[in-house]
Every structure is written in C-alpha cells, then in structure tokens.
Structure 1
Amino acid sequence: MRRGTRSSSCSPLVSSTPPSASSRTRSSGAHRPGRARRSHPPLPEEVTLARIEPAPADVYGPLFGEDAPFRVQIYAQRPEIAQAFLAFGRALREERLLPDRLIELVRLRVAFWNQCRSCMAVRYAEGLEDGLTEALVCSLERPEEAPDLTDAERAAIAYADLAATDHHAISDETFDRLREDFTEPEIMELLFNVALFVGFGRMGAALHMVDDLPDRYRADDRVAPWGAREDETLVIGSWANAR
C-alpha cells in the first residue's frame, strides 16, 4: 500500500443530504468515532486506536503475509472467516463486468455515507488505471450535477445512495433507471458490490481502523473522501490483487 499522488481543490467537508431523507437529522455525536463513551480508563498511546486488537503476527502472517494491511490484521481475529471474506472480494474483482472506475466511484460514495475512514482513505489501483482521478472523486459531492460523470455512473451512484441511506425507498423506478445503462447481470453485480460496501463499510466504521491512515481520517469531525491532499490517500495495489 503506497501513498497516493493525486490532489484536488474541492471541499474536504460536506453536509450532503441523503436522497429521500432530507428531514432526517443526526445527533452531533453520530459521526464521532472516538472512545469518549467508554467507561474504562483511556488506553495507553501504544495500544491501537481500533476497537478490536489486531491478531498476533503468527496468526495473520502465514495466511495473509507479514505485509497484510492493518484492517486484515484485525479481521484475522477470525482467520477462517477473513479468508472467506477476502475470497469473496477477490471474486468480485476477478469476475468483474462493470468498469473499475465506476465501482471505485460507487465505493467511495458509500464510504462517505458510512463515514468509514479506512474506506475513504484508500484508492484501488485498478480504478486509477481505469481513469479515476481526484477531480472525479470531487464529483461525488454532488453527483447528479457532475458533468464529468457518465449516465451509467450517476445511475449506479443514485442506487448506492438509496441502499446506503434509505433502502426502503428503492423502487421499480430505481431499477428502470438502472436498466437504461446496464444489463441484468451487470445490475446484479452492482448490487453485490453495493451490499459489500454498505455492510462491511459500516463494520469498518464501527471498528474505527484508523491507525495507518493520514491524520485527516483520524479526526472526530465528519469527513469526506473528496478534497484530499496528495499525501492523504493510500493506493491499494498488488497486495489486494494477489489475494
């Protein structure tokens, strides 16, 4: 995993309103993943900021390598389940019909709604190779108004927005819009990916796996994946693709 080199001038903070959910309000602490609510004394500084400790190196190392990302070290507390989860993610990559750029845009938009710091900080290499730029990531602040997104990307993001914020609002019309740009197999693939991003992104937010992230993703305030400086993204490449 290496530091990204792309930069952007769009706002790093945003108060986007979920679709079909403009009347909902969140408490001021809803996106503050710190340890203030814990009743026991503060943990020493050398202890992880995550809410679950990483597995011992002799557990994750033989299965995932000594260079396993921090989040995988934590998943390895249940190594058999972690292996199955990573195999699912590998299948989604290797059998992909949809453009890598589209999938990465959808992933980052869902990461914003989830406030998953370990999701927002990363960029997958295949998405970058397929044309993802930080200017495109900036378009995620207001995707329906973004001229540099394709109709297919806007439709996929619109579905992901509903799945992440108000899944009961998904309707026949939602799928009618998807069918304007996607085949049935492509729609099913999109749904598998969005389900992964929503569910496991929320798990990532709950775990607060920020130890290896740039400082902006450790802040208590609500953050966004857009507006990052060139030293504030992490590119995941060969490790993820090899496992």
Structure 2
Amino acid sequence: MSRVSIKTRDDLPEALRPLWDKMTTYGAFENQAGVMAHRLPIFKHMWSLLVDLASEGLVSKRHLELALVTVSLLNKCDYCVSHHAPKLAVQGVSEEGAARLVDYKDHPELDERDKLVVEYSIAVTNNWNKTRDEIFARLRAHFSEAEIVELTWRIALCGAFNRFNDILQLEVEQGVPHSEAAE
C-alpha cells in the first residue's frame, strides 16, 4: 500500500484536470500522478514535461523504452518495469528480452544502436561520474546532440521516478500486469 494517499482527478483544481486527462493518454499512471498531486507544482510540471516529450520527443519510442526499462531494472523498480516493459514489447522486444536487457552485449533482440542505448543507460545510472568520451563518440554516430540531451534527461529522470515510486511504495495500477524488476 502506498505510504501517501492517492488523489484523483476530482481532487485537482479545474485548471489541472485537462492535464490529468492528457496524462492518462501516456499510460495508466494514476497512482503516481495521484501522489504527485499532493504538490500541484510537481504534478503540473512533471506531467506537462512528460506529455510534451511524448508528443514532441526526438528519441524513438523503442530507444526511450529501452532506456527506461534498463534504468528501472538496474534500480529494481517494479512499478516502472511493469509500466514500461509492455511498451517495449510494442516496440519489438519480448518480455523475456526486456527482463535481460542489462545483459545486452549478446542480446539477440537488439541491434547495435539498441545496445548503445542500453550501455549508455547503464553508464548514466551507475557510472555517470566515470563515463569516458568514447561512448559519446559512438552516441554521436547514431544520435543528434538534441537526441543525446533528451535521452540523457529521460534516463536521469527515470532514476528519480524509480526512487520516488519505490520510497513511497506506489502500487502498480489495476489492469497493469505486474513485472518483477529482478536482474
């Protein structure tokens, strides 16, 4: 059970209800949004950012979901793995493949670019202060600088969401298949 009560759309001021409605098009994140709604600036700015990036994002959905699932596996966030592994399946990576992303080097479902995204996600999550220029040379061969910035931001933000969701013990919403974030 969540350590903080979960607010609903009806608890929001009228002006923020359209954002809640947009949020639901992003996925079944009502528990996360409902907890964020305790602080309206957090709800407003986080969900505005997420829905804007969903509609205007430069990074492909496949690469985004590869990054988010990788980070969530590393941080053992069941909530995020449960929400993003199905989105990754839509992008062509099986449930079994998603579960073993951190073992990316010989992953049969990933191409060179996919493996680079996973490697970079691991670097940003675990080795941000020891990452060498070499990986950026490889990133530049596949991504624009704007895409690198967006990918980096989404990876770092996912780590923050992992911590937020886990410390507050957010439960996966009904109807979302529960996935374990075991490595």
Aligned equivalents of 1:191, 1:179: Cα separation in 2: 13
2:54 counterpart letter in structure 1: R
What is the match of residue 43 of structure 2? 82
Alignment of 1:120-199 (within 5 A): 120-123=81-84, 127-199=88-160
Q: Which residue of 219, 224, 227 maps to 2:181?
A: 224
TM-score, scaled relative to structure 1: 0.62
| Greater relative CO (CA pairs within 8 A, separation 6+) | 1
Deviation, structure 1 residue 87: 0.6
- How far residue 215 of structure 1 moved from its aligned partner, in angstroms, is 9.0
Rg larger in structure: 1
Which string of whole-angstrom CA distances, capped at 9 and with x for unpartnered residues, describes residues 168-191 of structure 1? 111211211212221222211211
Tell me the secondary structure at the aligned position of residue 105 of structure 2: helix
The percentage of aligned residue pairs carrying the same residue is 23
Q: How many residues align?
A: 173
Matched, 1:112 2:69: no
CA contact (8 A) 1:55 1:77 kept: yes
Aligned ranges 1:33-52 → 2 under 5 Å: 49-52=1-4
**1:209, distance to aligned residue in structure 2 (A):** 0.3
AA aligned to 1:111 is S
SS for the counterpart of 1:131 is coil
Aligned CA distance change for structure 1 residues 93 and 165 (closer, same or farther; 3 Å): same
Structure 1 outlier segments of 4+, above 4 Å: 65-68, 124-129, 213-217
Specify the SS of the correspondent of 1:167. Answer: coil
Amino acid across the alignment from 1:224? A
Q: Which has the higher helix share?
A: 2
Could you give the per-residue CA deviations for residues 143-174 of structure 1, whole angstroms, max 9, x where no partner exists? Answer: 11113201111111111101111211112112
Question: RMSD in angstroms over aligned alpha carbons?
Answer: 2.9
Change (3 A) 1:141 1:82: same
1:103 matched residue in structure 2 = 64
Cα offset, 1:130, TM superposition: 3.6
Identify unmatched segments of 5+ residues in structure 1: 1-48, 218-222, 227-243
Q: Is the 8 A contact 2:85 2:98 kept in 1?
A: no
State TM-score, norm by structure 2: 0.79
Q: Is the contact made by 2:78 and 2:178 (CA closer than 8 Å) also made in structure 1? A: no
Q: Does 1:53 align with 2:5?
A: yes
What letter matches 2:64 in structure 1? Answer: I
Cα 1:80–1:166 shift into 2, 3 Å:
same
Is contact 1:108-1:225 (8 Å) kept?
no
